[in-house]
Amino acid sequence: MHQDIRAPFGRTLSLTLGALGVVFGDIGTSPLYAMRASALAAGGDVPSPFVIYGALSLIFWSLLIVVTLKYASFIMRADNNGEGGVLALATLAHRAPVSRRTKTAIGIAALLGLALFYGDGMLTPAISVLSAVEGIGVSGDRGLVIPLTLIILIGLFLAQRHGTERIGKLFGPVMILWFSVLAVLGVKSILATPQILSALNPWHGILLFAHEPWTAFVALGAIVLAVTGCEALYADMGHFGARAIRWAWAFVAFPALTLNYFGQGALLLRDPQSMPFLFYAMVPGWAHIPMVILATIATIIASQAVISGVLSITRQAVQLGQLPRMEVRHTSAREEGQIYVPRINAMLGIGVVLIVLIFKSSDALMTAYGIAVTGVMVITTVLAGIVAAYLWRWPRPLVIGLCAVLGVIDLAFLSSNALKIAEGGWLPLAAAAAVFVVMDTWRRGRRAHLEKMRQDSLALDLFLERADRFSQRIAGTAIFLSPRLDVVPGALLHSLKHYHVLHERVVICQVSVSDTPHVAAERRVTIEKLGKGFFALRLSYGFFESPDIPAALEQARGQGLALEPDATTYFLGRETLVAGHAPSLKGWRVGLYMWLASHALAPARFFHLPPGRVVELGTQVSE
């Protein structure tokens, strides 16, 4: 958590530079396609001045209201121990004193938001890199666009295993250069046609709706492209702090984007025929190739930020039990957020490559882009309203009024994008639906599975009363991992069944993940002496932390549980699931859950247990 409010000016400036390189990559590269798509949607291939002023006004006020007012000023107030994102926001909303039904709805909304984030994560790298590389087609040679795009994207996903710590230091300076170039190009074009500045007046956008309401409504599906990436402001708050992100937006990103969009509008007024390559048409001929290179680098940075976000949210979902255990590799010894999840990276990379091959142009991809983003925007507004009303105790009329205004805007964007479902919007929705089904099936199945194990387990206090019957105790320590501390782990009962002995010390270990990002070191280990050589050990982690049981056990020494690694054995229960006569999950979901469970990462690897000290005991559990 960054204490950004009290941070020294130099530290905040450094964080601001870092935020520019990570947070604003997506929204910062939107000028490559957003203005062109908006003008095309509102006025066709040769838009009239009336359409140009109206579309540009809607873009400007969308940036001002959605990004500045909603996210930077309102949503970013909702931090979970300094962390942001839809998962953190849902966690806060879940703490509100609301009905059980509302809490269930909040949980479903969180899953849906996560699923939509995955759908957006596949589209952003594809449309960003493709729109930048298409700049080489200005000269008429478009045959290299798809091959170059695929080479760049495949290389980007292959590079994830090595981390971005070294080149990550260049992200901030490169994005400073990018935003500076955006501003210079915009100012140059505006000076040639200064009357375009009248589009700052919201009346132009209102007139577009008044005279051509259906056209204006349809155009919202393209105008929202200018604000895609706004969720990153909130999601990356834990890495850079709210103050640094707000500074980066207010003093760099927002002014540069505004100038460039108005510059593109001015160019359209002067030369409506520049529509096919609107962004690159502002660039002088001598700077065309350097601009293509800079735009490509900027979109790679934007794509990297989205990929990192997907990997990070995956780790959170795994920790909170929303997804099966997966391998998570740390690619930096200093930056905790630098992680690599092989399975998700491969799936995301394959999805992005297929999207490029299917759609083949940024114009075609625009039909698919936006609906996942607007879905997350609607969910964020609802959850933030619950937090403001119940946790912040804002006046209800203020909360209702604010969320009503923001909600109407979000729903207008979502409804407009829904018109594009048949043309390509189905793709992110299909991806989001698949992710949602997987997460919901895993969550429901795991809950039913644990309940079944609890019902079939022996109460720990009853077992301890009979522990004296096992007079044969062998030297050493046995650690049994268990989801509960009030029942006897199945692995312990099976060990007794097979070996008929107990170790001198028996530790029942529970790993719990809290709804906060981090757990303080002094709260990591909790030990309870149960007598007769038995201990109950609870290890607590935040959802941004990776459980490491051997490392945590080192802390147990200070609390009276000194374990010798060479004399400690870890016992794990490996349950083989079989379909029962009355399964808690119906139909195909039973098979899906069993498949997910069979492909989950082994607990020994997930908890970093020493391979030579692990014993797995199998059993069958009827699902």
Domains assigned to the chain: 9-444 (1.20.1740.10), 459-622 (no CATH)
Q: Is 83 helix (H, G, I), strand (E, B) or coil?
A: strand
pLDDT for residue 1 = 41
Q: Residue with structure tokens 């782990």?
A: 489
pLDDT for residue 139 = 59
Mean pLDDT of 56-83: 93
Q: State the Cα–Cα distance between residues 589 and 286, nearest whole angstrom.
A: 59
Q: What does the pLDDT look like over 250-264, one tens digit per residue?
A: 999 999 999 999 999
Torsion of CA 258, 259, 265, 270, to 10 degrees: 170
pLDDT at residue 453 is higher than 80: no
Q: What does the pLDDT look like over 284-325, one tens digit per residue?
A: 989 999 999 999 999 999 898 888 888 888 888 898 888 999
The percentage of the chain sitting over the pLDDT mark of 90, rounded to a whole number, equals 51
Of residues 47 and 200, more confidently modeled:
200
Residues in Cβ contact with 575 at an 8 Å cutoff, skipping those fewer than 6 apart: 449, 453, 490, 597, 618, 619, 620, 621
Q: Residue with structure tokens 């959850």?
A: 383
The model's confidence at residue 583, banded by pLDDT at 50, 70 and 90, is low
Q: What does the pLDDT look like over 399-413, one tens digit per residue?
A: 999 999 999 999 999
Answer whether 4's CB lies under 8 Å from 241's CB: yes
Q: State the Cα–Cα distance between residues 482 and 539, nearest whole angstrom.
A: 11
189 CB-side CA count, 13 A = 29
Q: State the Cα–Cα distance between residues 171 and 168, nearest whole angstrom.
A: 5
pLDDT at residue 5 is higher than 50: no
The percentage of the chain sitting over the pLDDT mark of 70, rounded to a whole number, equals 94
pLDDT at residue 334 is higher than 70: no
Q: State the Cα–Cα distance between residues 159 and 345, nearest whole angstrom.
A: 10
Find, among 62, 612, 545, the residue nearest to 318 by Cα. Answer: 545
Q: State the Cα–Cα distance between residues 43 and 354, nearest whole angstrom.
A: 31
Q: Helices (DSSP H) in 134-230: which residue ranges?
A: 145-158, 165-192, 203-211, 213-223
pLDDT at residue 476 is higher than 80: yes
Q: How many C-beta neighbours within 10 Å does residue 447 have?
A: 12
113: tokens are: 């938001």
- Cα separation values, 469 from 227, 344, 478, 498, 571, Å: 68, 49, 18, 16, 21
Q: Residue with structure tokens 């206090």?
A: 461
pLDDT for residue 363 = 84
Average pLDDT along the chain: 88
Of 164-168, 328-332, 591-595, least confident by mean pLDDT is: 164-168
401: tokens are: 């009024």
Highest mean pLDDT among 207-216, 358-367, 586-595 belongs to: 207-216
pLDDT for residue 140 = 57
Q: State the Cα–Cα distance between residues 540 and 535, nearest whole angstrom.
A: 16
338 CB-side CA count, 13 A = 17
The model's confidence at residue 52, banded by pLDDT at 50, 70 and 90, is very high
Find, among 62, 63, 351, 53, the residue nearest to 207 by Cα. Answer: 53
Q: Where are the beta strands (DSSP E) in 289-364?
A: 329-330, 339-340
Phi/psi of residue 320, nearest 5 degrees: -90, 5
Mean pLDDT of 446-463: 82
The model's confidence at residue 15, banded by pLDDT at 50, 70 and 90, is confident
Find, among 543, 84, 107, the residue nearest to 328 by Cα. Answer: 543
Torsion of CA 61, 427, 340, 237, to 10 degrees: 20
* Helix, strand, coil abundance in the chain, percent, nearest 5: 70, 10, 20
Find, among 237, 209, 217, 186, the residue nearest to 23 by Cα. Answer: 237
Q: State the Cα–Cα distance between residues 218 and 222, nearest whole angstrom.
A: 8
Q: What is the pTM of this model?
A: 0.88
Mean pLDDT of 439-466: 84
Angle, helices 34-43 vs 49-62, to 10°: value is 130
DSSP string computed for 580-606: -SS-SS-THHHHHHHHHHHTSPPHHHH
- Cα separation values, 587 from 18, 435, 441, 577, 595, Å: 49, 18, 12, 15, 14
